[in-house]
Structure formats: C-alpha cells, structure tokens
C-alpha cells in the first residue's frame, strides 16, 4: 500500500521549530545592485536537473568505501585494527555514508534558510537571488537523498552539533545572521568539504553530482559576500560583538565537533578513544583546517576579522587563510 503523502502530527521524522523574523515587502523594484542582478542572471542561466543531467544508471557497489584507504583516519586505532577485513570495510562505508548524510541534512537547512531570506531581506535584488537559491537547494536535497537511498543504502540522522548550528541560524530573527551563518559559514565550509570529496573519490556519479552542487554553492557564497558588503562597517560595537561571538563559536563547533561519534557508537568503539584518534589524525587535521580556506578570507572582506576574531582564529589554527583567494580556488576547480 502506498504511504500517505501527508505526515501525521506524531510522525517521528517531523520536527517543528518556532521562528520569528520580520518579513519585508520592498516596493522599490529598480536594481541598486548590478552585481547581485548579474549573479541572479547567472543563477537562472545555470540551472540544471539532477534527474536528467546525472547518469543514475551507473552501478555503485554499496560495499565500496568510495574514498581511498590511504586517507583512513582509523589506521592504527586498536579497536579498528582488531576487526576483520569485512568489518573494516563496513566501518569505512559508515564514514562516507555519515558524511554524505550530513551534507544532505545541511542542504535541507540551506533550503529552509534560503526560503526565509526571500521574506526577510530588505532589498529586492537579494529576494530574487534568494528565490533562485531556494530552487538550487531543493535540487541539492534531491540529489544527495537519491544518492544515499539508491546507491549507498545507508543514512544517518543529523549530527547534534550541525543541528544546533542550523537551529541557531533558522531561529535567529536578524536577516544578516542568517546570511552570515548559512552563506558565509556553512556554505563556505561545505564548499571545501565538497572539494575534498570531489578530489578524493573515483566514483563517477558522486563526482559529477558534487561538481554540479559546487557550481551552485560557489554562487551562494558570493551572494552572502555581496549582500553583507559594507553592512558591518557602520554597525555599533555592541551589535558587532554578537556577530563576532557567533562566528567564533560556530567555527569552533565545525572544526572539532563534526567527527562522526555516532559511527563510533554504532561499532561499539569508545567515544573518547575514537574522538582522540580522529582529532590526532594528521590527514584529518589537514582537512579540518582546509575547511576554512574560504570562510576566513570572506570574513575579512566583510570586516569581521576583528582583533578578537583574529585572536580566536589564531588559537584554532585557521588565521593562516586570511589572505587566501576564494575566487582563485573556485577557478582551480573549474567553477568560475
């Protein structure tokens, strides 16, 4: 029997959060920002369809770990080394399915926030662009969920730290915090994580899928930078402090708290030992640091690399990216 399309109020897969923010009409339709209009034109022109532009006939072996063994951070971890080869493959599959699941949940967060921006932003060019981003994010949810259900056959719930960050962005009533949280931080980090995956996997469908998603994400980050340009320059110090605190706590959360302890629980590894192993892994340290190669220079462009934020970023080991060039990074990935 087909399942009902309308969820019941007690559906465990349904969660409600209360949101409150001002919705703005803008009665001035002219375009004060030619850069945003150009980005919107590009967004309309570059729409793709995950159903027809990706080759879903490609067979993906759900037993294939998809990432090279050489970057396995659990090498040398005693409870992992004690497992037989089959169990070890299962652990490596879990890491990929966990990561792709978090990408999917993050995309749902982006879908919700982009739709909120359509209402909340007080300028028309940004409303139009946010509408196009909402459609982009719908496609991203569609392709990641299809890949997970049809090809990987293993999904994980949203990680509690990622969920806390998404909740904070979705529930904040200030439109600039939505941009700062989603377009600058989450999407900036996602671009770097996608780039890693794209480079490391040899599975063609996943590679193509991620490339299409990245084409959109690089525009979304640019949307955030263009929309917030000059906004923080005139902000009173007390209000700016909120943004500084938000940036530092979000970066700390995303740097050290997204390492998949849920997979450790699943295989009966001790959480603490697993966490220590993941945090000490040189390859993961490199990846976790590289995640910030777009976020940090974009924060500098927005005037948010204040002395306080610089000090905290120095402590986190990510200040080194302050003069990195996100446009050059995109061009190197063929996304310009």
Q: Region of 77 please: left (phi>0), alpha (psi -120 to 50) or beta.
A: beta
Question: Whole-number minimum distance, CB 304 to Fe ion, in Å?
Answer: 20
Q: Nearest Cα to 128, choosing from 186, 44, 188?
A: 44
Cβ pair 273, 81 in contact under 8 A: no
Residues 99-158 that bind Fe ion (CB under 5 A): 107, 110, 137, 140
Question: Whole-number minimum distance, CB 2 to Fe ion, in Å?
Answer: 29
Count of residues of this chain found to bind Fe ion when the rule CB under 5 A is applied: 7
193 touches Fe ion by CB under 5 A: no
**250 vs 278, beta carbon nearer Fe ion:** 250
Residues 17-76 that bind Fe ion (CB under 5 A): none
Supply 60's token pair. 């993906």
3-class state of residue 335 by DSSP: coil
**92 vs 219, beta carbon nearer Fe ion:** 219
Note the helical H segments in the chain: 34-45, 50-53, 78-81, 85-120, 124-146, 160-171, 175-178, 187-200, 204-228, 237-256, 261-267, 271-280, 282-290, 295-301, 307-316, 326-332
Residue of 92, 105, 219, 220 interacting with Fe ion (CB under 5 A): 220
**179 vs 232, beta carbon nearer Fe ion:** 179
**107 vs 244, beta carbon nearer Fe ion:** 107
| Stretch of residues binding Fe ion (CB under 5 A), selected from 68-76, 124-132, 146-154, 181-189 | 181-189
Supply 199's token pair. 């480079």
Q: Nearest Cα to 113, choosing from 137, 88, 146?
A: 137
**114 vs 251, beta carbon nearer Fe ion:** 114
| Site residues (vs Fe ion, CB under 5 A) | 107, 110, 137, 140, 187, 217, 220
């Amino acid at each position: 029997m087909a399942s009902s399309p309308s969820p019941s109020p007690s559906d465990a897969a349904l969660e409600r959060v209360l949101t409150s923010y001002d919705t703005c009409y803008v009665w001035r339709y002219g375009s004060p920002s030619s850069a945003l209009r150009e980005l919107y034109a590009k967004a309309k022109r570059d729409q793709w369809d995950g159903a027809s532009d990706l080759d879903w006939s490609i067979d993906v072996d759900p037993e294939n770990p998809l990432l090279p063994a050489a970057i396995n951070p659990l090498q040398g971890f005693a409870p992992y080394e004690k497992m037989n080869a089959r169990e070890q493959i299962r652990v490596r599959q879990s890491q990929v399915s966990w990561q792709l699941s978090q990408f999917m949940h993050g995309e749902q967060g982006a879908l919700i926030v982009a739709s909120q921006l359509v209402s909340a932003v007080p300028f028309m060019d940004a409303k139009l662009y946010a509408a196009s981003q909402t459609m982009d994010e719908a496609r991203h949810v569609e392709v990641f969920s299809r890949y997970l259900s049809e090809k990987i056959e293993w999904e994980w719930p949203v990680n509690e730290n990622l969920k806390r960050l998404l909740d904070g962005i979705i529930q904040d009533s200030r439109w600039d915090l939505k941009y700062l949280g989603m377009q600058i931080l989450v999407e900036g980090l996602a671009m770097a994580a996608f780039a890693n995956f794209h480079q490391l996997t040899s599975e063609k469908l996943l590679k193509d899928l991620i490339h299409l998603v990245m084409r959109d994400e690089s525009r979304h980050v640019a949307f955030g930078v263009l929309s917030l340009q000059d906004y923080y320059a005139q902000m009173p110090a007390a209000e700016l402090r909120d943004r500084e605190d938000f940036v530092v706590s979000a970066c700390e959360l995303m740097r050290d708290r997204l390492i998949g302890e849920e997979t450790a629980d699943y295989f009966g590894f001790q959480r603490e030992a697993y966490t220590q192993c993941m945090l000490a892994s040189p390859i993961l340290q490199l990846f976790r640091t590289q995640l910030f190669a777009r976020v940090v220079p974009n924060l500098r462009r927005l005037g948010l690399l204040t002395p306080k934020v610089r000090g905290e970023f120095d402590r986190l080991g990510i200040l080194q990216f302050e003069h990195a060039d996100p446009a050059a990074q995109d061009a190197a990935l063929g996304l310009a």
